[in-house]
Structure 1
Amino acid sequence: MTFKTTILPSNHSFPIEADETILDAGLKHGYTLPYSCRNGACGACKGKVLQGSVDHGKSQAHALTDAEKAQGMTLFCCAKPLSDITIECHEVSTVKDIQVKTMPCRVEKMEKVTDDVMVLKLRLPANERLQFLAGQYIDILLKDQKPRSFSLANAPHDDELLELHVRNIAGGAFTTHVFNEMKERDILRIKGPLGTFFLREDSDKPIIFVASGTGFAPVKAIIEHALHIGVKRPMHFYWGVRKQADLYMLDKIKEWEALGIKSTPVVSDEPWSGRSGFVHQAVMEDFSDLSGYDVYACGAPVVVEAAFREFTTQRGLPNESFFSDAFTFAPKI
């Protein structure tokens, strides 16, 4: 049976099945409510039911007391509807709405997808979830060293494991450790989410994504989030790499293409059958006017800086329509 959930004060509404939690249904329809553990233990998703009734589900007594239930409070990660409901909740729309947390995690899976790129999947403790916006990053906290920052490659709706794409950088202490010493089940400490590289959902402009190398990771997260919430804006993804073998996860790109997202891989350092040269120049060749677009650029600083400079000065892109995350690398110390 399907009910209707209305959120105040935004007046957003979405359908919810009788067997869905309020949080899961909200996330499915693109409305991000505050949450943390997602299993009734922490109380971060606590909110008020103004109209209608719910089954409080598996909420734990210390996170939701009987007195709070009597006042109309519930945990959105556990509560399921028994009727149409109206809830009071502040929706998460910007980074300031999300708590930055420090926590341990376990290396669940390691997959070497190219000679110098490792996909890490990290599992958080059983009672923890990391709430984040697609495109944000986390810091790996290392003893007596500077934090190492890596973008999250998974979208928020798919948060059972955190996915990182790690390039093996010459002289990089952490990346050398990842490729030569790290093992599955190793424990790391992380801090996040961080950063302001995320999809601006209030815009209706078509989107151009420009990624170099493992800048693919946060773009992957943003595209998967956009598809999940049903964004209809035209999207074109440009991916610049040095050699063809660097184009990992091409099967994922083919899935996106089948759903209407255009993609243009660009190879700079070897001949091949596709587009060659620098990735930002490929965009310049394809678009004479970017004044009506949003551009999301991520990867090597030289690529991000060249894209910003040339798109704004030569193609009319407004400064405020350029969103970026430039990867810098910490030297081995």
Structure 2
Amino acid sequence: MSVLRCEVKSMKLMTPQVYRVELTPSAPVVFYAGQYLQVVMGENDKRPFSIASMPADQNRLELHIGVAEDNPYSTEVVELMQTEGEIKVEAPLGSAHYRAASERAMVLVAGGTGFSYVWSILQHHLSSTDPRHVVLYWGARQLNDLYLHEQLEQMQRMHENFSYRPVLESPPAEWEHSRGLVHHAVLGDFANLEALDIYVAGRFEMVRVVRDEFIQRGLPENQLYGDALSFI
């Protein structure tokens, strides 16, 4: 892990509540897909965000940051970036990264901006020569919360070993995909989880439910990956 200064290269709203932030670190960052960084707000105030970019690009760090009036934790980070134009980060961190040596099929489960964690893993996997199949389940409340929905549909058409399964709690009337909670869609598709590697990210409450229900369904605990699991 290193402590680095990062220039805020760009900040773009992908939805009214989600920023895509591009950082240029003061030195190359060597990391695994699925790791995270911490924005240093103060000596005892460090806030984690998944690195959404690919490990191949060591001179660029991408973050997806959700903001809301009732969420100062993230909003204050965005305000600091906008005001200062640079931030200090600790990177890389986390042990729930992509397991390239595994031969098991992969399932990626994301809620909201937890997508940034699986986005790095997905891009890295599909850019490799690894033929393992990967299924992405991305759950959100409404369609416009799936801020890369069309790009993922296009990627699914391009890659035979990739399946995209969007899940909405409040879908439009014409919605043809899964409805409800994202982990229920996974359990509906897989009668047996024992042969899978599952990567999960989202709110702690969601990750806790995923852990408990997936292990009850037969998933070995050491085949479930997510840094939130260390805190719940």
TM-score w.r.t. length of structure 2: 0.90
Which structure is higher in helix share? 2
Query: Which whole-Å deviations, capped at 9, do the CAs of 1:67-121 have from their partners, x for residues lacking one?
Result: xxxxxxxxxxxxxxxxxxxxxxxxxxxxxxxxx0001111000010001000100
SS at match of 2:226: strand
Mapped to 1, the partners of 2:72 and 2:6 lie a distance apart of 20
CA positional deviation for 1:161: 1.4
Match status 1:325 vs 2:227:
yes
Aligned length: 226
Give the aligned partner of residue 130 of structure 1.
Answer: 29
Give the aligned partner of residue 8 of structure 2.
Answer: 107
2:72 corresponds to which of 173, 177, 198: 173
Mapped to 2, the partners of 1:281 and 1:321 lie a distance apart of 18
Distance 1:180 1:131, change over 3 A: closer
1:294 corresponds to which of 197, 200, 207: 197
Mapped to 2, the partners of 1:179 and 1:146 lie a distance apart of 15
Amino acid at match of 1:319: E
Mapped to 2, the partners of 1:163 and 1:232 lie a distance apart of 26
* Runs of 4+ more than 6 Å apart: none
- Aligned-pair identity in percent equals 31
Mapped to 2, the partners of 1:136 and 1:159 lie a distance apart of 13
Give the aligned partner of residue 47 of structure 2.
Answer: 148
Amino acid at match of 2:159: L
- Indicate conservation of the 8 Å contact 2:29/2:59, yes or no: no
SS at match of 2:108: strand
Highest relative contact order (Cα 8 Å, sep 6+), 1 or 2? 2
Structure 2, unmatched stretches of 5+, are: none
1:194 corresponds to which of 93, 101, 110: 93
2:188 corresponds to which of 265, 276, 285: 285
Match status 1:208 vs 2:107:
yes
Mapped to 2, the partners of 1:171 and 1:147 lie a distance apart of 19
CA positional deviation for 1:304: 1.4
CA positional deviation for 1:180: 5.3
Distance 1:181 1:296, change over 3 A: closer
TM-score w.r.t. length of structure 1: 0.64
Mapped to 1, the partners of 2:144 and 2:52 lie a distance apart of 20
What does 1:303-314 align with in structure 2 at a 5 Å threshold?
303-314=206-217
- Indicate conservation of the 8 Å contact 1:135/1:218, yes or no: yes
2:126 corresponds to which of 218, 227, 232: 227
Match status 1:259 vs 2:159:
yes
Mapped to 2, the partners of 1:180 and 1:245 lie a distance apart of 23
Which has more radius of gyration?
A: 1
SS at match of 1:214: helix
Instruction: Tell me how large the CA RMSD over aligned residues is.
Output: 2.0
- Indicate conservation of the 8 Å contact 1:299/1:325, yes or no: no
